[in-house]
Amino acid sequence: MKQHRLTKEGYNILKKELDDLVKNKRKEVAARLKDAKNSGGDLSENSEYEYAKNEQAFVEGRIAQINEIMDNHVIVDGNSSGNQVKIGSTVVVKDLDTGKKKKFKVVSSIECDPEKNKISDESPIGGSLLEKKVGDEITVKTPHKKKRLKIVEIK
């Protein structure tokens, strides 16, 4: 079975989501299903019942997915000394073509959130940064172009 890598922060977020799904969302969906059933009429024509059934399937699927991750995970964190980029490291890079700096946190694919600058260790940039040190330069082929980056800081 695949072992899932998580940062401590990512583990805590998943644990919180699981608790909410089990304690709250599951009950909310069950109540909506009950209300839709009790509204009378043919269930096959009841759109609220169909919606609630679909939401229940999603909730139960997500609970199963998170349980599988929790059962097969290992906590990984960035190198506290900041010598090399690891999962959990925050990295400041300078684009050598534009001169602009960008800060990323390298996380597992489960935790990635590009809008929050959390990039996966399996992404082109994230994978290229792993094990590199301050001052190292990397060239990354992205879907749009090649990027030349220099590591300025590792936290």
Between the alpha carbon of residue 62 and those of residues 17, 95, 120, the distances in Å are 10, 38, 20
User: Which pLDDT tens digit goes with each residue over 142-154?
Assistant: 888 899 999 999 9
Domain ranges of the chain: 4-75, 90-154
Percentage above 90 pLDDT, the chain: 78
pLDDT score at 80? 57
pLDDT of residue 45: 74
**Domain topology for 90-154:** Chitinase A; domain 3 (3.10.50)
Q: Is the pTM of this model over 0.85?
A: no
CATH topology of domain 4-75: Helix Hairpins (1.10.287)
Same fold, 4-75 and 90-154: no
Mean pLDDT throughout 42-66? 90
**Residue 58 banded pLDDT, cuts 50, 70, 90:** very high
